[in-house]
Amino acid sequence: LVTRTSGTKIASEALKGRVLELNLADLNNDEDQSYKKIKLCIEEIQGRNCLTDFHGMELTRDKQCALIRKGQTLIEGHADVKTTDGFVV
């Protein structure tokens, strides 16, 4: 919890770099997407607003279990993706 600046510590600097984890349903007000967990990293503070950047996405454990049947295995893959504007995720 960061409340205010004191001495040489600046409150906004303590927030930078923190990773937030929340449901996609909370962001979009759509309960059908509640099984997706989104991670956002705080990049900049402007007044009382935090500017965030996408940090990752996961599925909830119950959704993963529903997708995998007994006797089958899960193969995970990681890839760097380049968007149309040239940003690498």
pLDDT of res. 1: 54
Look at residue 75 in the predicted model and tell me its pLDDT: 81
pLDDT at 6: 66
Q: Token digits for 12?
A: 């906004």
Q: Which residues of the chain fall below pLDDT 50?
A: none
Could you write out the DSSP letters of every residue in 17-81?
A: T-EEEEEHHHHHT-GGGTTEEEEEEEEEEETTEEEEEEEEEEE-HHHHHHHSPTT----------
pTM of the model: 0.67
